[in-house]
Chain A
Amino acid sequence: MAEKILMKGNEAIAYGAIRCGADGYFGYPITPQSEVMETLMEEKPWETTGMVVLQAESETSSINMVYGGACTGKKVMTSSSSLGISLMAEGLSYLAGAELPCVIVNVMRGGPGLGTIQPSQADYFQAVKGGGHGDYKMIVLAPASAQDMYDFVGLGFDLAFKYRTPAMILSDGVIGQMMEKVELGEQKPRRTDAEIAEQCPWAVVGKPADRKRNVITSLALESPVQEAHNIKLQAKYKEIEEKEVLYSTYRTEDAEHLFVAYGSIARICETAVDIARENGYKVGLLRPITLYPYPTKQIQELLPQLKSVMAVEMSAGQMVEDVRLAVEGKVPVNFHGRMGGMIPSPDEIYEAFVKSINK
């Protein structure tokens, strides 16, 4: 029988990392995600799977440790929260530019600045639209449960290695801190050095006599070379957009109104959908699981049956811009958001919905 354990979302990240065969975790303490590294240190995976765990001197250093580890073809990751991710922005851009696979977890808290340690979804733009400099994208996964936190570490690595690009798990303080039952999978072995050399011929592992040296760099001073690299990256992102969209729906079959929400808010919106249905409104929910690539087509496919769409977020309205791009003005797009660590209740969302369609 599968192991089911009650744990926090943050702890699930740690167990997900160990069980999927991650090689290294490098992090720096920050609320509300410190349990990730605490759990790893308590579990001591270096004694079992051989996984390296290290507390860095800053987020700047931890993301660059990730860069160094990823250069060698290892499965490496870090986690942080909002302002810590801002500090990592340079490294994220380098990782994307150098086409390095890795997993970054952001357990979002309210900002701007030092902000609050309470949950937020105000880093959507940072995660999905860039955050660092230059034309790049990261695959962005949005967990809505502790189980998702566990599962998405392995999924994140699979996608990151498939496309040689960083993958971010964009979570929030609710998912990180709440305790739920998590079903643990089998322990997967870490890849051997021979497997890495075979599967990652680009990896920096020491140059044998029979191949050219491997150099991991994001530098191309000659403009035609840099543009060719940019074109290659954009082609990769296009392929990701075509193949890797993940989403789920709730009661959308006959829906006339659609909520769009991700992460913890998607969970709350399910209850709001039920309340609306009890009051005679045919409402459904679309939950993007990948925020990049965004389920644009999936929203568009529902449009013929819809009278309105409402995005709900713990932000001033960030993802709603991608909803508007998908809807292209065909039906009204409304928005309900809370900020500063405030979490909307199902009743509040329902009332905002009723108000939005009667304005």
Chain B
Amino acid sequence: MDIKDIIKPENKVYAKTPVLTDNILHYCPGCTHGTVHKIIAEVIEEMGIQDKTIGISPVGCSVFAYNYIDIDWEQAAHGRAPALATATKRLNPSKYVFTYQGDGDLASIGTAEVMHACNRGENIVIIFINNAIYGMTGGQMAPTTLLGQVTATTPYGRDAKLNGFPMKITELLAQLEGTCYVTRQSAQNPAAVRKTKKAIRKAFENSMMGKGTSFVEVVGTCNSGWKLSPVKANKWMEENMFPFYPLGDMKDR
């Protein structure tokens, strides 16, 4: 059988969503960002909201999210994405507005903005990628870095006395009256990807119902920062991250 006989429309089982651009991802092989970008793009395609969606990219590795998801974007200063999203949504209530933020951006420098956006119950979606490290600046300690975890600024492992404790910001945000949906997911295998996709779709749908803020944490890997192969990074995440950052819904109303 010739290859031309195989590559036919009727044999197609998978196609890249057109909401993802053809730009080559700058992320390291094994990075979770690319997977979550694809999930978001698929949700936008399936909901038919490409012309109604505004994304807000952070500072960090995913600053360039605007190169990959084919929608209108705002690029925020470090940590400020929820403030941009607040005004964007209030001034444009018919649009789907989401922020995409890493752990340094959201849980360190942007703590005030995310807390208050969630507390006001802004009708936005916040997607939080937690890989427990600063990727773009070269693997320094993040607020979510685990105790004992070695990073560029915790070369002997994170020590609570010296560096404080890893922050469970998602649990904190679940306590706020303004949030309607708070969940923690992952994206290391097809089952996890399906769950995350369901969560992100629900978050987007919530944002048009006037219910408040939807917050989706995705626990991910930074194999370059962690200095592990993609496969080993996934294993390390399952063994070390998941016990401290347990997956599942914290709030759904």
Q: Which residues of A pack against B, CB within 8 Å?
A: 23-24, 26, 52, 54, 56-58, 60-62, 64-69, 71-72, 74, 76, 90-91, 94, 98, 204-209, 213-219
Q: How far is the CB of A51 from chain B (nearest CB, A)?
A: 10
Partner-binding segment picked from B32-40, B87-95, B160-168? B87-95
> What B residues does A214 contact at CB under 8 A?
72-73
Question: A206 and B72 in contact (CB under 8 A), knowing A76-B87, A94-B77?
Answer: yes
* Per-residue contact bits, chain B 61-90, to A (CB 8 Å; 1 contact, 0 not): 001001000111111110010011111101
> What B residues does A64 contact at CB under 8 A?
76-77, 80, 83-84, 113
B91 touches A205 (CB 8 A): no
Complex A-B: 7 CB contacts under 8 Å: A57-B116, A65-B84, A68-B88, A204-B88, A205-B92, A206-B51, A215-B66
Other than the given A68-B74, A98-B75, A219-B75, 19 more pairs (CB < 8 A) read A52-B91, A57-B113, A57-B115, A60-B113, A61-B80, A61-B83, A67-B87, A68-B76, A68-B88, A69-B91, A74-B92, A207-B50, A214-B73, A215-B73, A215-B74, A216-B75, A217-B66, A217-B73, A218-B75
Q: How many A-B residue pairs have CB under 8 A?
A: 122
Question: A213 and B71 in contact (CB under 8 A), knowing A204-B54, A206-B95?
Answer: yes
B90 touches A54 (CB 8 A): yes
User: How distant is the Cα of A90 from the Cα of B83 in the complex, in angstroms?
Assistant: 14
Q: How far is the CB of A157 from chain B (nearest CB, A)?
A: 15
> What A residues does B86 contact at CB under 8 A?
54, 61, 65, 68
User: How distant is the Cα of A72 from the Cα of B92 in the complex, in angstroms?
Assistant: 8
* Per-residue contact bits, chain B 18-51, to A (CB 8 Å; 1 contact, 0 not): 0000000000000000000000000000000011
B112 CB within 8 Å of chain A: yes
Q: How far is the CB of A219 from chain B (nearest CB, A)?
A: 6
B108 CB within 8 Å of chain A: no
A24 touches B73 (CB 8 A): no
User: How distant is the Cα of A54 from the Cα of B116 in the complex, in angstroms?
Assistant: 12
A216 touches B73 (CB 8 A): yes
> What A residues does B51 contact at CB under 8 A?
206-209
User: How distant is the Cα of A76 from the Cα of B53 in the complex, in angstroms?
Assistant: 21
Question: A58 and B72 in contact (CB under 8 A), knowing A26-B87, A69-B88, A207-B50?
Answer: no
User: How distant is the Cα of A54 from the Cα of B90 in the complex, in angstroms?
Assistant: 9
> What B residues does A98 contact at CB under 8 A?
75
Contact of B91 among A23, A57, A91, A209 (CB under 8 A): A23
B52 CB within 8 Å of chain A: yes
A66 touches B87 (CB 8 A): yes
A204 touches B72 (CB 8 A): yes
Q: How far is the CB of B70 from chain A (nearest CB, A)?
A: 6
> What A residues does B80 contact at CB under 8 A?
60-61, 64, 67, 91
B92 touches A61 (CB 8 A): no
> What A residues does B77 contact at CB under 8 A?
64, 67, 90-91, 94
Contact of A213 among B66, B92, B115 (CB under 8 A): B66
Contact of A72 among B63, B66, B91, B113 (CB under 8 A): B91
> What A residues does B56 contact at CB under 8 A?
68
B76 touches A72 (CB 8 A): no
User: How distant is the Cα of A268 from the Cα of B66 in the complex, in angstroms?
Assistant: 52
B72 touches A57 (CB 8 A): no
